[in-house]
Amino acid sequence: MNRKSGIKRRAQPEGPGLARLKLNELLGSNALLTALRIIMGIVFVAASCDKLLFPEVFAAKAAEYKLIPELLLPVTAVAIPWVEFICGLLLTLNVFSRSTALILAVTLAGFIFGMAYDLSSGLAHDCGCFSFLEESIGAGAIIRDVFFIALLLPIIIYGENKFPHLSRKGK
């Protein structure tokens, strides 16, 4: 308590508590969240483009994973790119960004599982992630996807989950 004013002052965190507070402030900052949303939104829109234009090529790459039943390959080859495209667009526009980032993180976790499973089974094939990279499944693709999940986590934790254009009052 301050003797002169009689007002109680909150104790300032010290040590690990202060570091955790500063980390929360950094990860929850609007500038960082905006940058992450735009970067990851562009990444997923870019990843979806060739898949949307050439679903038969993506279906062939998805078939190489040996995880999706043949009957579901056409649906998968159409659905995954649209999920990537729509979620990437929504993320960039800050529309339901928390939910959108969570959907993308779960999608990435599925990709990581598929690559890890095939690698452990001795299979080697094209990743199918970005057509312009033409990369094989492997540690590099898995690490990249884990990194992408890490970039989505601040959005999942601190982002907004609203439709911003309808949320403005008085307009």
Residue 138 backbone zone (phi > 0: left; psi -120 to 50: alpha; other: beta): left
Average pLDDT of the chain is 83
Instruction: Tell me, yes or no, if the pTM score tops 0.75.
Output: yes
In the Cβ-directed half-sphere of 110, how many Cα atoms lie within 13 Å?
13
pLDDT reported for residue 171: 45
Q: pLDDT digit string (tens) for 83-127? A: 999 999 999 999 999 999 999 999 999 999 999 998 898 878 777
> How far from 101 is each of 135, 142, 151, CA to CA, in Å?
24, 18, 9
pLDDT reported for residue 166: 59
Question: Residue 126's beta-bridge partner residues?
Answer: 136
Question: Residue 136's beta-bridge partner residues?
Answer: 126
Q: Extract the residue ranges of the chain whose pLDDT is less than 70.
A: 1-28, 131-133, 164-171
Angle at which helix 97-120 crosses helix 139-158, to 10 degrees, equals 160
